[in-house]
């Protein structure tokens, strides 16, 4: 067995032992939602300001209002952000309970996994 076989075997064992595809799907959905720099910036804005109207977010970003709205929808669909209607506007805020859950799921991704030390010329790094 070579180094790559060890890596494949470890990856297969980790996947098989998890057994909870819905958690993996949730991690993937959050990663996808945060996979654009504008969405990461929106999250930072909302974390600092606690709550914002869409226009306030637009004022801090180099993109159009329609683009910000689309990014907010993606964050909302992933469960990271909530939107509450306030008259003709929507007030957005981070869903802290969901964010805590997602952080725990991400932490579980590496739980029980020994760090791999890689050096020059080693496979699997």
pLDDT of residue 125: 57
Domain count, the chain: 1
* Nearest CA-CA partner of 71 in 100, 28, 44, 37: 37
pLDDT of residue 113: 79
Whether 4 is covered by a domain: the verdict is no
Whether 125 is covered by a domain: the verdict is no
Which residue spans within the chain are E strands per DSSP?
A: 51-53, 81-86, 89-94
Q: Does the reported pTM lie above 0.75?
A: no
Using 50 as the pLDDT threshold, list the residues of the chain that sit under it.
Answer: 1-17, 19
pLDDT of residue 69: 94
pLDDT of residue 9: 41
The CATH number of residue 53's host domain is 1.10.10.10
Whether 81 is covered by a domain: the verdict is yes
Summarize pLDDT for 52-65 with one digit per residue, the tens: 899 999 999 999 99
- The residue range of the domain holding 53 is 21-109
């Amino acid at each position: 067995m070579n180094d790559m076989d060890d890596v494949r075997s470890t990856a297969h064992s980790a996947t098989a032992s998890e057994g909870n595809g819905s958690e993996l799907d949730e991690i993937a959905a959050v990663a996808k939602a945060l996979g654009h720099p504008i969405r990461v910036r929106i999250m930072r804005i909302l974390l600092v300001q606690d709550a914002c109207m869409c226009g306030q977010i637009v004022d801090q970003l180099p993109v159009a209002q329609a683009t910000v709205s689309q990014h907010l929808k993606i964050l909302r669909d992933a469960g990271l952000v909530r939107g509450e209607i306030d008259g003709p506007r929507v007030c957005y805020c981070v869903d802290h309970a969901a964010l805590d859950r997602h952080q725990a799921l991400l932490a579980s991704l590496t739980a029980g996994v020994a760090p791999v030390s890689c050096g020059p010329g080693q496979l699997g790094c």
